[in-house]
Amino acid sequence: MSEIEIPSFLVRIGLAFGAFFRILFDGKFAAQIQELPGSSTESALEAPEPGPEPAPAPEAPPVRLHEAPTEAALQLLGLLQREGRLLDFLMEDMGSYPDADIGAAARVVHDQCRTALLEHVQVARIRAEDEGSSVSVPVGFSASEIRLVGQVAGQPPFSGVLTHAGWRAQSISLPKLSDGHDVRVLAPAEVEL
């Protein structure tokens, strides 16, 4: 049996971005990923070792699902492609490139996409503390702003270590679209004459 070659960190970043957007925009692909061993919701939530029984949580009202509009997401993705060639980077097979080339390309794509993103979306950290610092999660915290990970048992307040400060969109300002503009066209094909 041959040994599997583990891709470099930069290659894995490209793969992660590519997989993320493909799962997000390709329902059939997402269904195939969901069917892979170990990727179901149940197996992802299983604890590796049985621990103490958590206190029963109060019953929450049923979650009402709604579809998010896709036009703004597609428009922003199109802007990131136009300004930083994000899709070109993510859709490229990185396996044949040396890490140094991928790193150089990633730096250019990062800089240009960051500029485009900050031009259209004002983002702010959810938590002001430094990552790695001890934090307290109060009673009544917003589950959409703070995700508890690890062994969660009992009731808030909780104490833990901040592993990611989180991001919130403060405002978004996308260009107005003309009638007939197809936001699904993220980058037109180019033909040089």
Model pLDDT, residue 39:
59
Asked if the structure places residue 183 within a domain, the reply is: no
> Do 11 and 86 reside in the same domain of the chain?
yes
Question: Low-confidence residues of the chain, pLDDT below 70?
Answer: 1-3, 9-11, 14, 21, 24, 38-52, 54-58, 60
> Can you give the pLDDT at residue 177?
86
User: What single string gives the DSSP state of each residue in 22-88?
Assistant: HHHH-HHHHHHHHHSTT-SHHHHH--SS--PPPPPPPPPPPPPP-PPPSHHHHHHHHHHHHHH-HHH
**pLDDT in the model for residue 38:** 64
**pLDDT, the chain, mean:** 83
DSSP symbol at 143: T
Task: Copy the structure tokens of residue 72.
Answer: 């703004």
Question: Is 118 among the domain residues?
Answer: yes
State residue 55's pLDDT score.
66
Please give the residue range of the domain that contains residue 26: 7-44+69-125
Whether residue 22 is found in the same domain as residue 74 = yes
Tally of domains in the chain: 2
Amino acid identity at 127: R
Domain assignment present for residue 92? The answer is yes
pTM above 0.85, yes or no: no
Are residue 161 and residue 84 in the same domain, yes or no? no
The verdict on residue 55 lying in a domain is no
H or E stretch at 106: helix 99-120
Q: Any residues with CB less than 8 A from the CB of 177 and at least 6 apart, and which?
A: 71, 75, 183
* Residues 25 and 77 occupy one common structural domain: yes
